Amino acid sequence: MRNARILAVLAALLYLTGCASGAQMGNMVYDGPVKAYDTALENNVDVTSVSGGEKTNPAWTSEIDNDAFAGALKQTLQKQGLLSGSGRYQLEALLLEVDQPMFGLDFEVTTRVKYILTDRDNGAVVLNETIAAPYTATVGDAFVAIKRLRLANEGSGKANIQGLVEKLSELQIQPGDISLAQ
């Protein structure tokens, strides 16, 4: 009898709050102004792999999966004039951590993503950077906690991709010399 009550309460809570949904690709695309890049990068970056993400369990919490993050990354690079299907520069992204709160009114999520940009021609690592990007979703953004967490995930993913775009805009690539602009 007691187990039946607990199940009934859990079912009611799930019904009232809804099911968790994963971060949506379109909400993680950085759509800010197009930046200036070294000409070597223009239409010359290929996203080769995205890993470390997690699928969302609808009965638990929102997550960022590899496909959604890869799609947002590719769309951002395309909007910035960098994406190529078979470019000279290969970009790998590894979602190291998506730090999420368990409860609260405001949900701050911080994504940590390691980006590795490699020159396909000579194997040189052009960029090896871990970017940490926090984003806070408030009760004003969404009253329901499950949606608020998804919004925080999406905002943090978008901020992380924006951080990558900024790093790429700082790169100065010259024959035999690869460095960040100072």
User: What is the distance in angstroms between the CA of the first residue and the CA of the last residue of the chain?
Assistant: 68
Mean pLDDT, range 8-30, rounded to an integer: 66
Predicted confidence (pLDDT) per residue in 161-180, tens digit: 999 999 999 999 865 544 44
Predicted confidence (pLDDT) per residue in 100-127, tens digit: 887 778 889 999 999 999 999 999 999 9
Euclidean distance between CA atoms 1 and 7, whole angstroms: 10
The answer to whether residues 133 and 160 touch, using CB atoms and an 8 Å cutoff, is: yes
Predicted confidence at residue 178, as pLDDT, reads 44
| Domain with residues 20-173, CATH architecture | 3-Layer(aba) Sandwich (3.40)
Higher pLDDT, 58 or 55: 55
pLDDT-above-70 percentage for the chain: 82
Instruction: Label residue 145 by pLDDT band (50, 70, 90).
Output: confident
Mean pLDDT of the chain: 84
pLDDT score of 1 more than 80 = no
Euclidean distance between CA atoms 173 and 182, whole angstroms: 13
Per domain, the residue ranges of the chain are 20-173
Mean pLDDT, range 142-158, rounded to an integer: 87
